[in-house]
Amino acid sequence: MRYQKQYIMQPPVELYVFNAYSVAALWKVVDDIVMGGHSEGHFAVTEEHHGRFYGDVSTDGGGFSSVRHALREPVDATGRKQLFLRVKGDGSEYQFRIREDVNAEFSYTYPFTTSGDWQIIEIPLEEMYPVRRGDRLDRPNFADGRIAEIGFLIANGRDQAFSLLVDRIEIL
C-alpha cells in the first residue's frame, strides 16, 4: 500500500479583527510630537466596526504618525509565512509594523500602497525588515519568532492628510 504525505496547514490566527466590541483606546497613537514635530494622528472605531487611523502629517520638525496595539498575549509565528491585512486606504503608502516584544527598541516593517478601495495586502514575514527611528538596521529580517505588537505608520516625506480603514489582521 502506498501512502501519500498530507500537509496540514495551520489555520490562520487572527491578530486583530474589528467588530462591535472593539475599543479604540486599546490602540496607542504615537506622532512625531515626541521629537518636536507637529503631526497629529487619531484612532477610532467606525460605526461599520472598522479601525480608522487618520489625521495630518506635517514635515515641520518630524513627518510621521503611527498607531500600535499590544496583543493581549504574544502570538508564536513559528512556521507561519504571511500576514494578511484587509484595509482601505486613501492611495497613500503606509507601513505595517510588528514587534517581538512591546519594549523592543526596533520594529519589523513592510511598506504597502493603498488603492482607495478595500484590498487584501499579503505580507511575506521574511520580507519584514528591522527599523529604528526610520533607519534600517543591520540585522536579519523577521524569522520565526513571536509577535507581541502590531501597528501602522505613515511617513511619506510630505505634508498630507491621511485615512486608513482596517478590517482585520491575520497571520497564516
Residues 6+ apart with CB under 8 A from 27: 43, 51, 53, 67, 68, 69
| Domain residue spans of the chain | 16-171
Rounded-to-integer distance, Cα 41 and Cα 56, Å: 6
Q: pLDDT tens for residues 77-116? A: 999 999 999 999 999 999 999 999 999 999 999 999 999 9
The CATH fold assigned to 16-171 is Jelly Rolls (2.60.120)
**pTM listed for this prediction:** 0.93
Rounded-to-integer distance, Cα 55 and Cα 51, Å: 13
Rounded-to-integer distance, Cα 40 and Cα 152, Å: 14
Residues 6+ apart with CB under 8 A from 5: none
Stated length of the chain: 172
Q: Are strands 51-57 and 40-45 parallel, antiparallel or unpaired?
A: antiparallel
Q: pLDDT tens for residues 49-84? A: 999 999 999 999 999 999 999 999 999 999 999 999
Rounded-to-integer distance, Cα 158 and Cα 13, Å: 35
Q: pLDDT tens for residues 117-149? A: 999 999 999 999 999 999 999 999 998 899 999
